[in-house]
Amino acid sequence: MAATDAPHVIIAEDSAILRDGLVQLLTERGFAVTQAVSDATSLEQAVAADPPDVVVVDIRMPPTFTDEGLRAAIALRRTHPGVGILVFSQYIETRYAAELLSGGAAGIGYLLKDRVADVADFVDALVRVAAGGTALDPEVVTQLMGASRRTDSLAGLSAREREVLALMAEGRTNSAIGNILVISEGAVEKHVANIFAKLDLPATTTDHRRVLAVLRYLDG
Amino acid sequence: MQIQVPEERAGQARRLVELVAREPFHKRSWAELAYFLASSALAYTAALVLAVLGVTGLALTVVVVGIVIIAGTLRAARGMARWQRALARRLLGEQIADPEPFNARPGFYGWCRASLGDRAAWRAIAYFAAKVPLTIFGVWFALSIWVEALLAVASPLTGRTATDTFGLFGRVISPGYNGGPGPGSAHLGVFVSGIILLLLAPWTMRLVVYLDRRMMHVLLGPDAATSRLRSLEESRSKTLDASTETLRRIERNLHDGTQAQLVALAMRLGQAKEKLDGLAPGQRSADLEAVQRLVDEAHRGAKEAITDLRDLARGIHPPALDTGLENALATLAARSPVPTEVAVSIPTRPSPAIEAICYFCAAELLANVAQHARASRASLSCAQHGPWLRIVVRDNGRGGATVNGNGSSSSGLAGLADRVGAVDGHLSIASPSGGPTAITIDLPTHS
C-alpha cells in the first residue's frame, strides 16, 4: 500500500471510451488513479516514475495490437515485483495466463473485460490484486483446468470439490467460497483439505499460496 | 530526309551482313549443334529402351508381369523426359516447367494405376516417338550442312575435291561443284562452297531446334489443364489471403470499436444499478443526478455502438448492393467527402461476387482519393463492355499513386490488384506526379 489509504492505480488502455470509464469508476470507488495511459511504453515510464499499488493493463495495445500489454506486465513483474498487475482483456488465452503466472500468482489478476459490468466483483478483484492476492477469471481457471495434463487426478475429485478448486484458483478465500456456494466455511475447509489430500498438495493458509499450489499442479 | 532513307537501308543491310557473317562463330550456334547431337543420342536411346520395354510388356499382358513392365516403361519415360528438359535447359537455356507431379496412391496397385494413367508419361513417349523422325530430318537438313561446311572449309589442308553425298547438301547442292573443271579451281570451289555452307548451317540447325523447342513445350511441359490448375491455385491462395485479411480487419474493428463500446456501456449501467440498489428509499433524490448522468452516458454509448455495428455490417456486405450496383455506387459517391460524379451503365447484372468486388474497389479508390489525393473533384464510372465490367475512378489531385510505391495508399492498391487478379481482372494506374490520376479496373462480369 502507498502512503495514503486509497490504493494507487495506473490504467493502460488504448480505447479512450473504456479508459475514461475506468478512471471514473475507480475514482468513484475510492481508488487514486495516478495515471491513465494508452500504450505499453507510457505504462512502463509511468510505473517507473511513481510506482502504484496496482496497474490495470489491456493486453492488446498499439503499435501492433497483439500482446504489448502482456509483455509490459511481465517486464513490470521483473522490475517492480511489488506492483500488483491486473491484466484486462477481451479474450482469454491459456498461453498468456500460463506466461503471466509462471513467476508466481501473488499480485496477479487476469480478467475478461466483461467483468467490469459487475462493478462490485471487479473492484473486489482489483483490491485483492493490489494487496498481493490473486484474481483469475473463471474462464482462465476453466481453460487451465482443461489444459491440464493431469486430468486423470482431477477426475478423482467430486463435483463439489471441483467447484471449490476452481474458486480457489480464482483467488477466493474460504469464507468467500462459502458465500458463493452457500455452504458453511467449515464445510469449505473440509473440501479444501480433501482436495489437498487427493491432489497430494501440502496445505497452507495463505490465499495466494493456495492459488500458486493449485496452478502449479494444474500446469504440471 | 531523302538522303537518310538510303543510308538507313544501307545500315540495315550492313547489320544483316554482320549478323550472317558472325552467326557461325556465335556461341549459341555451337550450343544448338551440341544440343542436337546430345538430344538425338538421348532420343534414340529412349526410343529404343521404351520400345523394347513396351513391346515386352505388351507381349506379356496376359500375365500380370506385362502390365507391371508397361507401368515401369511409363515411369522410365517420365525420367527420360526429365533428362531431356535438363539438356534443353543446360544447352539452350530453354525453361520448360515440370509437368504435374507423379501422384500415386499407396500400395502396389495404386502405383500401377497411377503409372498407367500418367498423362505426363504418355506425352513424354509421344515426344520421343516424334523426336526420332525429327532427328532424321535434322541430320538430313542441318547436320549434313554443318559437316560438309566444316570439311569443305578445311579442304585446302586436306586436298579434298568432292563431297560425301549424304543429307540435303549431298543430294541438292553438291552437284554444283562436284564435277568442277580443273583440280585447282575445284579446290577453290570447294572452299568457297564451304564458306557459304558455313554461313547457312546455323540457320538450318536453328529451324530444326526451333521445331524441337515447340515440341518440348507442348509435350514435356505441364499440359494446359495443369497450367490452368496452377494459376488457379495461385489465385485461390491470394483470394484466401485477401479474405483472411478482411476477416482480420473485421475482428480488429469489432475489438477496438463495438466491443469496447459495449463494455463501457455495461460498465456504466452496472454503476447506475449499484447506485440505485444502494439508495435507501428516502434518499433517492440525492444521488439521482449521478444516476441520471450514468444512464445518459450509457444511452449515448448504446447509440454509438449501434452506429458502429451498422458501419461494420456495411463493411462485410453493403446492404445497398442488394438493389444493384447502380444504387450502391451512387450511395458510395454521395458519401465521399470529395465531390464525385457518377456514371453507371450496366444493362445486365453481374454475378454477386463481381458486384461485391466492384463495390469494394470503388469504395477503396474513393477512400484513397479522399485520404491521399488532395483532389477537389473526382469521378466514378462503371460501364459494361461485353463480358467485361470497367470501373474508372479519376481525380484532379496530386497524382503519384503506385501499386509498389511506398506511399500510404500503395498497400491498398496492391490489395486491390490482388483481389482483382483473383477473378482474372486487371488493374491499371495512370497517375503522373502532379496528377491527374485515373485508375482503371476491368472485371469479368461473371466469375
Kindly report, residue by residue over B214-233, the tens digit of the pLDDT: 999 989 988 877 777 777 87
**B18 in any annotated domain:** no
- Write down the mean pLDDT value for chain B: 82
Co-location of A24 and A122 in the same domain: yes
The pLDDT of residue A104 is: 76
Co-location of B132 and B173 in the same domain: yes
Interface mutation target, options A11, A13, A17, chain B, most CBs of B under 10 Å: A17
Co-location of A71 and A159 in the same domain: no
**B200 in any annotated domain:** yes
Can you list the residues of chain A whose pLDDT is less than 70?
1-4, 146-153, 201-220
Co-location of B281 and B361 in the same domain: no
**B19 in any annotated domain:** no
Co-location of B312 and B396 in the same domain: no
Strand boundaries in A20-155, DSSP class E = 32-37, 54-58, 84-89, 108-112, 134-136
* Residue where a domain stops, chosen among A110, A137, A164: A137
For chain B, percent of residues with pLDDT exceeding 70: 88
More confidently predicted of B8 and A112:
A112
Co-location of B334 and B261 in the same domain: no
* Residue where a domain stops, chosen among A137, A157, A183: A137
Chain B residues near any Cβ of chain A (below 8 Å):
252, 255-256, 259-261, 263-264, 266-271, 274, 301
The pLDDT of residue B409 is: 46
The pLDDT of residue B123 is: 92
Q: Measure in Å the smallest separation between the Cα of A182 and chain B Cα atoms.
A: 22
- What single DSSP character describes residue B166? -
The cell for B216 is 518440348
* Residue where a domain stops, chosen among B288, B316, B344: B316
> What's chain A's Rg over C-alpha atoms?
17
Which CATH number fits the domain that encloses residue B361?
Answer: 3.30.565.10
Co-location of A96 and A161 in the same domain: no
More confidently predicted of B17 and B161:
B17
Interface mutation target, options A11, A13, A15, A111, chain B, most CBs of B under 10 Å: A15
Co-location of A129 and A159 in the same domain: no
More confidently predicted of B15 and B446:
B15
Which residues, 6 or more positions from B67, have their beta carbon under 8 angstroms from its beta carbon?
B57, B61, B112, B116
**B329 in any annotated domain:** yes
**A39 in any annotated domain:** yes
**A127 in any annotated domain:** yes
Whether the predicted model's global pTM rises above the 0.80 cut = no
**B65 in any annotated domain:** yes
The pLDDT of residue B307 is: 76
Which residues on A lie below 8 Å from B301 (Cβ)? Answer: 17
Q: Measure in Å the smallest separation between the Cα of A55 and chain B Cα atoms.
A: 19
The pLDDT of residue B286 is: 63
Q: Give the residue numbers spanning the domain of A179.
A: 148-219
Confidence check: pLDDT of B181 > 50 = no
Q: What is the pLDDT of residues B293-350, one digit of tens each?
A: 888 888 888 878 877 777 777 777 776 777 778 888 887 888 788 888 999 998 888 8
Calculate helix-pair angle for A94-101, A138-147, nearest 10 degrees: 90
**B372 in any annotated domain:** yes
* Residue where a domain stops, chosen among B294, B316, B338: B316
More confidently predicted of B159 and B215:
B215
**What value does the mean pLDDT take over residues B67-83?**
91
The pLDDT of residue A42 is: 93
* Residue where a domain stops, chosen among A105, A137, A169: A137
Closest CA to B61 of B21, B116, B8: B116
Q: Give the residue numbers spanning the domain of B128.
A: 24-219
Domain count, chain B: 3
Confidence check: pLDDT of B60 > 70 = yes
Which residues, 6 or more positions from B30, have their beta carbon under 8 angstroms from its beta carbon?
none
Give Cα separations from B63 to B53, B68, B74, B191 (angstroms): 15, 9, 18, 62
Q: Are B57 and B69 in contact (CB under 8 A)?
A: yes
Domain count, chain A: 2
The ipTM is: 0.71
Co-location of B129 and B106 in the same domain: yes
The pLDDT of residue B150 is: 84
Q: Which of B173-182, B268-277, B393-402 is the least confident region?
A: B173-182
**A131 in any annotated domain:** yes
Nearest residue of chain A to residue B254 (CA atoms): A90
Co-location of B193 and B79 in the same domain: yes
